[in-house]
Amino acid sequence: MPKRNLILLIVLTIICFTCHVRTSRQEQLLTFVMNLVENQYYYPGDDSPKTKDDLFNLSLNGMLNSLDPYSAYLPPVDYDKMNETLDQRFAGIGAELALAPKTKALTVTALIYGSAAQKAGLKPGDEILTIDGNSTKGKSVSQAVEQLRGRPGEVVALSVQRAGAETPVTIEITRSIIATASAVGDRRLTDGQWDYFLPDSEGIAYIRITGFGFQTAKEMARLIPALLKKGMRGLIIDLRGNPGGTLNSAVELCNLFVPENDVIVSIHSRTSVRDIRAQKGDKFRSFPIAILIDGQTASASEIVSSCLQDSSGKTAPDGSTLNVKVIGSRSFGKGAVQDVFTLTPDQGAVKFTVAGYVSPGGKNIHRFQNAKSTDQWGVMPDEGFKVELPAKDASKLQYWRKLRSMSIDMSAPGDDPPFGDPAQYDPCVKRALDFLNSSNSQ
């Protein structure tokens, strides 16, 4: 072996040994501290033991949380729930539930169209008395949902009290894979389908995106042509309260509107700056769009709103011009991109920030620590389209929107009519209608 190669091998061996010793010492220290806490920790009034698994999870979380508010350790249960949300699929019966305001009875408020529950004969308004013989009295909605979910192919038996019936009936439902929609309409119909047109709006459609999962852009790509065939002449995309989701989903949605090669978002990582550009495909640019945002519009929903805002007014090579207005209040300001790294099957995953992003026009989205209201962050409504609501009114509006997602009237005594005209009840929708109607009249 040449002397030069031998020296290099010796140096590498020393480096590897040094790293191994250092890692071993760190592991030994962590194990020593965990043993100390497990055996001796006690806090007055809290005698629950802290296991090594508890302490290990806490140590991972502490390390990742110290990086930024969005980095975290995901235990297996949380990791599975995150995947279920992004996949937009779960194993269950396909019924949405709530506790009746007066009786607190567990009540079916809506059925997912074509679901196992609908096929078995369950109906909105049915009260579920027992699940597999276990009473639902005193149970929360989340507890009932856990009982209703399970493996596809398993049968669950419900004792159901239907309005007008003298005695309960038993309905057996075979659990199946249920696909959930992330692009929903103005209100839910009794058969579980959504009505996407606002009442008395003469062709103004309304789509509320609840999150950006793997199917969101595909849902929009199916919805928009169908709505155009029904006479849509303007579209409201409601991103209020949308916490975000996957970067790819946001990019795919923007790609439905942005001309080929135009920048959708600029990603800044530790080692590079990369512009993500629109690809070939059908582009929907023949109608005006109003995007609704608020202080809870975050992450992927900020990518969409900033992209379409920056693209508005620009003429594409085919001569088309996108007409978009962003309406509401300043968005949350999360311009950070996380990657999820799966650990062993029984250890969950870790997610941490690997990049940041700015809008196509170069505007910063991220709200850094100690950022002032005068600093550039988040997505701002277009000039003249700012609509801010007091916290009390915003909470009331959120509750009202929840009622409209039910197929039956589940309002509490004294509530405003849950199926009232959105143009009268929702100031952002009213402003959006004013813009869309004026755009169509020009």
SS (H, E, C) 42-82: CECCECCCCCHHHHHHHHHHHHHHCCCCCCEEECHHHHHHH
Distance CA 70, CA 339 (A): 11
Residue 69's CB is within 10 A of a number of other CB atoms, namely: 10
Rg of the chain over all Cα atoms, to the nearest angstrom? 26
Which phi-psi region, left, alpha or beta, contains residue 328 (left: φ > 0; alpha: ψ -120 to 50)?
left
Per-residue confidence (pLDDT) for residue 4, from 0 to 100:
45
Q: In a 3-state reduction of DSSP, which class is residue 373? A: coil
pLDDT of residue 13: 45
- Residue 305's CB: how many other CB atoms inside 10 A? 29
Domain spanning 90-179, CATH architecture: Roll (2.30)
Q: Per DSSP, what are the bridge partners of residue 177?
A: 91
Helices (H) and strands (E) in the chain, counts: 11, 20
- For every residue of 244-292, DSSP letters joined together read -B-HHHHHHHHTTTSPTT-EEEEEEESS-EEEEE--SS----SS-EEEE
Q: What DSSP state is assigned to residue 90?
A: E
Q: Give dist(CA 260, CA 269) in Å, integer.
A: 24
Phi and psi angles of residue 40, each rounded to the nearest 5 degrees, phi first: -125, -15
> What pLDDT is attached to residue 5?
43
- Check if the beta carbon of residue 239 is closer than 8 Å to that of residue 292: yes
Q: What is the dihedral of CA 172, 176, 179, 185, to 10 degrees?
A: -10
- Average pLDDT per consecutive 10 residues, the chain (442 residues; last block may be shorter): 43 43 68 77 72 80 89 90 92 94 93 94 96 94 93 95 92 95 94 94 96 97 97 97 96 97 96 95 95 97 98 94 97 96 85 95 94 95 95 88 90 74 89 92 63
E strand intervals along 162-211: 169-174, 176-179, 183-184, 187-188, 194-195, 204-209
| 153 alpha carbon, distance to own chain's centre | 28
Q: What is the pLDDT of residue 20?
A: 46
Domain positions in the chain: 90-179, 183-441
| 370 three-state secondary structure | coil
The residue type found at 99 is: L
What integer pLDDT is reported at residue 16 of this predicted model?
46
> How crowded is residue 228: how many other Cβ atoms within 10 Å of its Cβ?
16
The pLDDT of residue 17: 42
Q: How far apart are CA 282 and CA 266, in angstroms?
A: 22
Percentage of the residues of the chain whose pLDDT score is greater than 70? 92
* Interatomic CA distance for residues 307 and 328, integer angstroms: 16
Topology given in CATH for the domain delimited by 183-441: 2-enoyl-CoA Hydratase; Chain A, domain 1 (3.90.226)
Residue of 153, 421, 404, 433 whose CA lies nearest to 292? 433
Instruction: Choose among 195, 173, 187, 210: nearest CA to 86.
Output: 210
Cα–Cα dist 54/182, whole Å: 34
Round to whole Å and give the CA distance between 16 and 32.
24
Q: What integer pLDDT is reported at residue 47 of this predicted model?
A: 67
